[in-house]
Structure 1
Amino acid sequence: MLLELSEEHKEHLAFLPQVDSAGQRAWGRCSAGWGGGQRQRPALNSLLTFIAVVAEFGRIAVEFLRRGTNPKIYEGAARKLNVSSDTVQHGVEGLTYLLTESSKLMISELDFQDSVFVLGFSEELNKLLLQLYLDNRKEIRTILSELAPSLPSYHNLEWRLDVQLASRSLRQQIKPAVTIKLHLNQNGDHNTRVLQTDPATLLHLVQQLEQALEEMKTNHCRRVVRNIK
């Protein structure tokens, strides 16, 4: 199962390779005039810096999920990278979407690599993103489960069929109505909802629910449900 990234998300994620380029330029200036035996050190340090920056972006993305946006963090990272805070924020949001959707679906390593391949990143960056996903997907799924809204659940149902046979204007008529009283549970509290509809609408609703139940038996739906649990 591959992720479908919108053009906006691709544009936001396009900031990540710029982190690598900025780091290499900075270390390139520092290494001017070094001896031949030491020329490999700046490249190694540049790679380590790049890894640290991407890992930090991953940490910020997880914090974004847990606590929401924090402009001060974006501003601090923007000063270090010499870019605008909006650019950093968009990069974090793009990375957050990538990690969140991948964790929701629990996609395999191969599917994750195929999903980010279309972004045209370097092999090093793709490996870093894969490692970020593998290291954080369990925590991200835990955060998402905590953020999920608590919805009412079914407890019991009562129904009544009312039929109007005549009125002052019409001596003979049949006007049926179905009244339904739903008993629901939510966080240990009990509440009721009263609904009323005509038999034709109720029949259509039943047919749609039966169709949905049949759809849940397909292999595709079973795979999706298994992945989101």
Structure 2
Amino acid sequence: MILSDKFIEEVQILDGVDLNSYEKIINFAISYIVKHDTQTTLAEVLEIDENEADRYFRLALKLVSYFGKFKFGDRQFRQNVEFLKFKEDRKALFLQKLEANSTQLHKRLSFIESDGMPYYKNLEWRYDIQIASRGYEEEFKPRIFMKFDLEYDNSRECGKIEQVFLETDYANLKNLQQEISYLVSQLESARQQKIKKLGQML
């Protein structure tokens, strides 16, 4: 799978920072994935505004996570690197950091890589109610309609968007809500919480 134009455009923002800050941003993202290091924030490291630092962090996390899933130096890895439009010194530094941490990155990110695991966006919903009448003999059943986009972010389907339409009733939706609430409640350990947070940010 080759990098999408959208992915390339988003991470290109990192190419605009100075080399010293760029190195710190990449190091921070790698450390977060490999060591789950959250003792300091990127804003503290760079001494910049939190919103700006968070933007850089998310982009670096996306970049490192994408390439970290590949075996360093294999054909697909090299093909994707060629599509990055970074300056040569930044590209070389990025590859150096990836190579030094390739084993740990691949191990940590292997649980994320799968055939699915997309995230949703552009959610729209509608609640339909049938107005009762004397001639209406069927059971009253309100319906819920939802439409949203699934965007895939794994190496095989990065950038792929699938539009989904769902129709259900209140009872099934309530049951789904309870099931999700139960599953979320099981994520109690510190490690599971960090994995959950990382998955949400990718």
User: By the TM > 0.5 criterion, same fold?
Assistant: no
Q: TM-score, normalised by structure 1?
A: 0.39
Higher percent of residues as helix: 1
- Max radius of gyration: which structure? 1
| Higher relative contact order (CA closer than 8 Å, sequence separation 6+) | 2
